[in-house]
Amino acid sequence: MNEQELLVQIQNKNQLAFKELVKKYQTAVVNTCMGFVHNSDDARDLAQEVFIEVYESIAKFRGDSKLSTWIYRIAVNKSLNFLRSHKKNNLLKSIEQFFKGEKNTQYEISYNQSADAELLNNETAHALNKALESLPENQRIAFILSKYDELPYAKISEVMDISVSSVESLLFRAKKNLQTKLVHFYGNKHIQK
C-alpha cells in the first residue's frame, strides 16, 4: 500500500492501515523523540502521543507535505513541548526542595559503579546531552534529525520548513558549537589520563 492509499484508509478509520502506519514509522518517531529527551521510556511515551495525535488529526492533514514529514513535525513538536514542561517542573521541584531544606539528588549516583568504562560512558553521554541542550533550538532540531534519525538534508528542510542551504548552515553552526562546548570536556579527560 503506497502512502496515499494508506492515508485514505487511515482517514476512513481503518485500524489495520493505522497499525501499518505505526509499524512503518514507530522506530523513526521513537529515535526522533529520544534525540531530544535522552530517556527511552519518555521517548516511547512521546511516540505514543505522536501516534494518538496522528490518528486524531489525520482528517485535518491537507497533504501539503509528505505524511512522513508531517509525522516528524509532530514528533519534534511533542518533544520540544515535553522539554519545556519538564524544565518548568524541574525548576519548581528545585525551588520547593530549596525552601524545604532538602538536598537536590538529581545528579547524584545512588550506587557504586564498578567499571570505569561505564562511568566514562555516562559522563560522555551527559556531556554530549548537555552540549546538545545548550544549542539554539533550530540547530538542535537539525542536528538530531541529521545524526539521530539520519535524515537527508532535503527531508530535514521539509520537516523544518526551511531551505536545504539553511539546513546546511544550521548543521555547520551546530557542529562548531558542539566542538567548542565539548573541547573542554574531552580536553579535561586527556589531561586526567
Instruction: Provide the pLDDT for residue 110.
Output: 36
Considering its fold, how many domains does the chain have in total? 2
- Determine if residue 39 is left, alpha or beta; phi over 0 gives left, psi from -120 to 50 gives alpha, anything else beta: beta
**10-residue mean pLDDT series, the chain (193 residues):** 86 92 94 90 95 92 88 93 72 47 43 45 71 88 86 91 94 90 66 41
Task: Write the Ramachandran bin of 161: left for phi over 0, alpha for psi from -120 to 50, otherwise beta.
Answer: left
pLDDT at 122: 63
What was the pLDDT predicted at 90?
A: 52
pLDDT for the residue 27: 94
Q: Do 102 and 120 sit in the same domain of this protein? A: no
pLDDT for 127 equals: 75
DSSP label of 145: I
CATH of the domain at 27: 1.10.1740.10
Same domain, 137 and 51: no
Contacts of 124 (CB under 8 A, 6+ apart): 185
For the whole model, what pTM was predicted? 0.68
77 and 129 assigned to the same domain: no
Q: Which domain holds residue 126?
A: 115-193
For residue 105, the model assigns a pLDDT of: 42
